[in-house]
């Protein structure tokens, strides 16, 4: 079946806020006296906020109550949201604008699907909000990737069947979510070469729209 829509993950695919996330988690870890480094941070890619916190707390010497965990997650999010004020269209990753224009010319629908509740602000600050026909984010779902919920919500909002969608992801959990949704997947960046992805590329600058749609 021909592809009618491309669903993009946000962070690491259209815009990179990885360093913002890392700095926010590192600040929280330092304040709490928790061991944390870039290697640990790599495990957080494509994972929901509370799951990220659980990973960070694996090496903690004390236990945290649910309310304490919620407070920690909120604190980290405050640090992260503060850093987002520096975002602008200059932070759109290479190749993104060209790919989006090419899809528009071919009449292919575009959605952005992210597990982050901060996705609307990121899209607004980078000027990408108007580039998507539909969006789905952490405010719309109850289950984070690798659950397929966010991609299925995006497809429903586009009015397109899952089998007609191509997902673009840079995290293993996102590739797994795309497969669970019954969607084709282009894996880029750290996820390139994932066995569940039908197509891989270094980034969106390294692939053409025609190559994407031939998946």
Give the separation between CA 32 and CA 172, rounded to whole angstroms: 29
State the virtual CA torsion across 67, 73, 75, 78 in degrees, nearest 10.
-140
DSSP helix/strand/coil, 187: strand
Q: Shortest CA distance to 48 belongs to which of 154, 151, 147, 185?
A: 147
Q: Which of 9, 91, 147, 170 is catalytic?
A: 9
> What are the tokens at 108?
């292919």
9 part of the active site: yes
Sequence-distant (≥ 6) Cβ neighbours of residue 122 within 8 angstroms? 10, 11, 15, 17, 84, 87, 116, 128
User: Is there a contact between 21 and 80 (Cβ–Cβ < 8 Å)?
Assistant: yes
DSSP helix/strand/coil, 48: coil
Give the residue carrying structure tokens 């292919």.
108
11 part of the active site: yes
> What are the tokens at 167?
């997902």
User: Is there a contact between 169 and 13 (Cβ–Cβ < 8 Å)?
Assistant: yes
Please give the backbone phi and psi of residue 199, each rounded to the nearest 5 degrees, phi first: -145, 145
Catalytic residues: 9, 11
């Amino acid at each position: 079946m021909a592809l009618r829509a491309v669903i993009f993950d946000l962070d690491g695919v259209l815009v990179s806020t990885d360093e913002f996330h890392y700095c926010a988690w590192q600040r929280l870890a330092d304040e709490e006296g928790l061991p944390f480094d870039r290697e640990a941070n790599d495990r957080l890619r494509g994972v929901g906020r509370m799951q990220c916190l659980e990973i960070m707390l694996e090496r903690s010497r004390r236990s945290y109550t649910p309310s304490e965990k919620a407070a920690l997650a909120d604190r980290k999010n405050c640090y992260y949201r503060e850093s987002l004020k520096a975002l602008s269209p200059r932070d759109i990753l290479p190749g993104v604008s060209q790919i989006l224009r090419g899809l528009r010319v071919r009449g292919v629908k575009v959605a952005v699907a992210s597990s982050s509740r901060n996705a609307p602000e990121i899209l607004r600050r980078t000027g990408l909000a108007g580039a998507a026909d539909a969006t789905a984010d952490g405010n719309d779902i109850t289950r984070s990737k690798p659950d397929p919920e966010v991609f299925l919500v995006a497809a429903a909002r586009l009015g397109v069947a899952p089998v007609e969608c191509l997902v673009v992801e840079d995290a293993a959990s996102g590739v797994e979510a795309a497969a669970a949704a019954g969607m084709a997947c282009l894996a880029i960046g750290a996820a390139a070469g994932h066995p569940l992805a039908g197509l891989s590329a270094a980034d969106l600058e390294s692939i053409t729209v025609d190559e994407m749609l031939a998946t």
